Amino acid sequence: MGRVRAYFVTGLVIIIPLGVTLFFLSLLFGWLDGVLQPVLTPLLPRYYPGLGVLVGLGVIVATGALASNLLGRRLIEMGQHVLMRTPLVRSIYATSRQVVDVFFDESTNPFEKVVLLEYPRRGLYTLGFVTSDARGEIQRKTRRKMVNVFVPTTPNPTSGFLIMVPPNHVIRLDMSVDEGIKLVMSGGMLMPQDGAEGGEDTEHVVDTTLETD
């Protein structure tokens, strides 16, 4: 009986991450299939589920191959130039391009630090990732230094919301960004090991008292 239980636990360890991965891939492929099905249905005598995904992947690979040569890069640059001169489309495309560049640039990390926020009310804390310092109009209108913190949702850390807070209202943690993402995805089940030994960690204790005017 003990061996069966051990096999069961080992199977869960293997199946759960695989299942979560397949779940998110199925959402992506299902969306692609739904988008391309109306386009391909009039062109084929019969539509096969999953064909839209294959076509979508083929288009992505073909675009990458096209961008790898000089002529292809020029054509893509011309298309991007047209998009950047089109009202409304310009804003959407530019923002999407910047986000993709940040996440796929291996030399940079979109998240700088893992922090705790006293949110949504006093006495309750949530995990967040510092992305940058607030600048420009936000900095001028608030008249104080602010940091941008991305608060992810569980178990999908790619969705969440942005909150801007003063630096002294966050508690900076020593855990790595990867550890923080694992903590969010597991719903708190995968807690990173604490390198500090014994006692309360006072190094990161900050003033979280909200200021009032």
Structure confidence by residue, pLDDT tens digits, 71-128: 877 887 888 788 788 887 777 777 677 666 655 555 556 678 899 999 888 889 999 9
Closest CA relative to residue 118, chosen from 159, 171, 155: 171
Distance of CA 23 to the CA centre of its chain: 16
DSSP codes of every residue in 178-207:
HHHHHHHHTTT-SPPPP-S-SS---TT---
**The pTM of the whole model exceeds 0.85:** no
Domains of the chain (ranges; CATH) run 30-104 (no CATH), 113-185 (2.30.30)
